[in-house]
Amino acid sequence: MAGKVLVVMGSDSDWNIMKKAVETLKAFGVEADVQVASAHRTPEKALALSESAREKGFSVIIAGAGAAAHLAGVLAAKTTLPVIGVPINGTALQGLDALYATVQMPAGVPVAAVAIDGAKNAALLAIQILAVADERLSRLLAGEKAAMAGQVEEKNQKIRQLAVEGGLLN
């Protein structure tokens, strides 16, 4: 069995985005736990989650937060596990504030960051990290990438056919 992934979000309002990470992890057979902890409102809980993650069998932490989005950094400060930040669009700044807060970490406290609302990619990155030591996950990821390539080729053929039918190509 692959390592487990801890998914933490700053608020329950982040669930609509963060559930994509949990769904993706589940699709690959990766065990996950979900927690709500705020870097600002419940910092002790956030730190405790981070400090105890390794001993609880987690291998990667995914942290989603909007606005000031300090959650991923707070978690990263107290663990040696990889932390992946998901900046969430939750303010008038459309997630740019969360993106900047997630990627602008000081030296020595790394946080990997995905796109705004990119919870699925956070899960895929976590799976790729786990796949370094898990051949089953590596095979599943390779299959996923092959399927995506096949879908692109199907779309290519469809567009080319439409262009021919429209008299735009010979």
**pLDDT, tens only, 90-117:** 899 999 999 999 999 999 999 999 999 9
Domain co-membership, 148 together with 126: no
Mean pLDDT along residues 107-132: 97
In this predicted structure, the answer to whether residue 43 has a pLDDT above a threshold of 80 is yes
Paired tokens of 90: 């939750």
In this predicted structure, the answer to whether residue 1 has a pLDDT above a threshold of 60 is no
> If DSSP codes are grouped into helix, strand and coil, which group holds residue 16?
helix
pTM value > 0.85: yes
Helices (H), the chain: 15-27, 43-52, 71-77, 96-103, 119-131, 135-165
Domain co-membership, 27 together with 90: yes
> If DSSP codes are grouped into helix, strand and coil, which group holds residue 154?
helix
Domain co-membership, 145 together with 126: no
Residue 68: per-residue pLDDT: 83
Domain co-membership, 33 together with 51: yes
Beta bridge partners of 64: 9, 86
Domain co-membership, 62 together with 142: no
CA 76 to CA 43: how far, in whole Å? Answer: 13
CATH number, residue 44 = 3.40.50.1970
Q: How many domains does the chain have?
A: 2
66-79: b (≥16 Cβ within 10 Å) or e:
bbebbbbbbbbbbb
pLDDT band at 64; cut points 50, 70, 90: very high
Residue 157: per-residue pLDDT: 97
Domain co-membership, 113 together with 140: no
